[in-house]
Structures are given as C-alpha cells and as structure tokens.
C-alpha cells in the first residue's frame, strides 16, 4: 500500500462545477499536510496547507480528519485555469511524501 | 525572494559521462531535498539534507551522489547513469520544522542516452 493515496482521475468537469478530491495516508505519525498543484511539465506549487480545523482560501476548501487519516480538497466554481494535477503531500520525520496525484480537466 | 533556482534546465548526457545538477535558495531554509519525477507519476523523494547534513537517503543507487556545500546550495552529482534514470529532477527547500511548506525549483529535465 502506498503511503499517500489519491484517485488518479482524470476528473472531467464543466466550468462552474464543484469538484472534490480525497487523499488517504497510512502513517499515523504524519504531522503536516498540504495540497500542491502541478501543471504539465512544471514544478509543484503550494496551493494550500491543511489544518485540523479545516481552512478555506477563496474557492478552495481543505479538510483534515486525523482519526480517519483522510484529507480532502473542494474546489467551487471551477475555472479553466484550474486544470492541473493536484497532489496531496504529507510531511513527517523530515520527509515530504507525495500522493499519486489527481488530474483535473475543466472544460468550457 | 521565494525562489529555488536549478541549473541546468535541460541536460543530455551519455552513460559514461559525469555531470552535476545544481540548486540554490536564499530563503534561509535549512532543509533541502532532491526528488525524481517520471512522466505521469508523482515526485519520488531521493535525498534530504537537514542543516547541511544528509539525513535521508531513500536507497538511491550510488551513481547519484548528493552534496550540500553550504546552507544555500545543493548539488547532485551524476555518474554512469542508465537510460531509465531519464526524468525531471526537482530540488526543494523548506524550514526543517512542522507546518512549513516546501518550495520547488523548476527542475532539470535529464535525458540519458
């Protein structure tokens, strides 16, 4: 079993749709959690950190459930520019471990 | 300045060549990372340096040799690589404390012929 797992997708949605991504992690000692976005042939870039109380940044909402070892990302009012791969990242013991990534395609 | 700079951006090398990848950051970060990314796969951790000391080696073959000359620089020395080592090599840096994100360089796209 991979340490951090995501549904690879692709998720094909129309502009304006709401889409949710899930991520599970196996190491209960994991300490910090992030969502990164990666465009084709580019480096990963931080989208948002994920806090236990849940947090929101504009159209993006992240949730963490430590008991279930589960992280989610909700994107509201999808834009064409949201098309990318979304990577769940778990940090602990000096490591940053990436999930398998979920590809999102937003169409007009 | 939230930038991690990697050079070169592209590299083609033969299986008998020796080359080096370079990474630089001036954010005062004391943790630096090398990742390898193959097409349509997530980045895979190779090495972690914490306070200029190698703290994690994810069982990487010895043909990859990391070096951290100072707190701003990270090198990856390459020797006798195989074609399957062709990939995007990403450098990242962060503070070695919890809840701090990592910043990534644009990567070096390596082709081994």
The 10s digit of each residue's pLDDT in B70-112 is 999 999 999 999 999 999 999 999 988 777 899 999 999 999 9
Give pLDDT < 70 ranges for chain A. Answer: none
Write out the H or E segment, with its range, that includes residue B23. Answer: strand B18-25
pLDDT surpassing 70 at residue B1? no
Q: Say which of A44, A46, A91 has its CB closest to residue B43.
A: A44
The reply to whether residue A87 touches residue B33, judged by beta carbons under 8 angstroms, is no
HSE toward the beta carbon, residue B11, CA cutoff 13 A:
28
Q: Which residues of A touch B90 (CB under 8 A)?
A: 43-44
Specify the pLDDT at position A27: 86
- What beta strand segments (E) does B51-107 contain? 53-57, 64-70, 73-79, 87-94, 103-104
Which residues contact residue B67 at a Cβ distance below 8 angstroms, ignoring those fewer than 6 apart?
B74, B75, B76, B77
DSSP state of B83: G
Whole-angstrom Cα distance, residue B93 to residue B105?
Answer: 9
Helix, strand or coil, per DSSP, at residue A26: coil
């Amino acid at each position: 079993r991979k340490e951090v797992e995501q549904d690879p997708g692709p998720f094909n949605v129309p502009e304006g749709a709401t889409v949710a991504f899930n991520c599970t992690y196996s190491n209960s000692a994991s300490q910090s959690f992030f969502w990164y976005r990666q465009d084709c042939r580019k480096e990963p870039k931080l989208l948002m950190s994920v806090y236990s109380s849940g947090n929101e940044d504009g159209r993006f909402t992240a949730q963490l459930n430590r008991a279930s070892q589960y992280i989610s990302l909700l994107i509201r009012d999808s834009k064409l520019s949201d098309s990318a791969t979304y990577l769940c990242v778990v940090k602990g013991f000096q490591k940053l471990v990436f999930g398998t990534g979920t590809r999102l395609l937003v169409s007009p | 300045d939230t930038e991690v700079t990697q050079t070169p951006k592209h590299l083609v090398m033969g299986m008998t060549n020796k080359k080096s990848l370079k990474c630089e950051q001036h954010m005062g970060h004391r943790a630096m990372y090398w990742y390898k990314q193959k097409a349509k796969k997530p980045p895979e951790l190779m090495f972690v340096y914490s306070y200029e000391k190698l703290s994690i080696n994810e069982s990487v073959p010895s043909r990859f040799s990391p070096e951290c000359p100072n707190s701003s620089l990270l090198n990856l020395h390459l020797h006798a690589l195989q074609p399957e080592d062709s990939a995007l090599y990403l450098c990242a840096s962060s503070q070695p404390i919890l809840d701090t994100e990592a910043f990534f360089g644009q990567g070096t796209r390596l082709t081994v012929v």
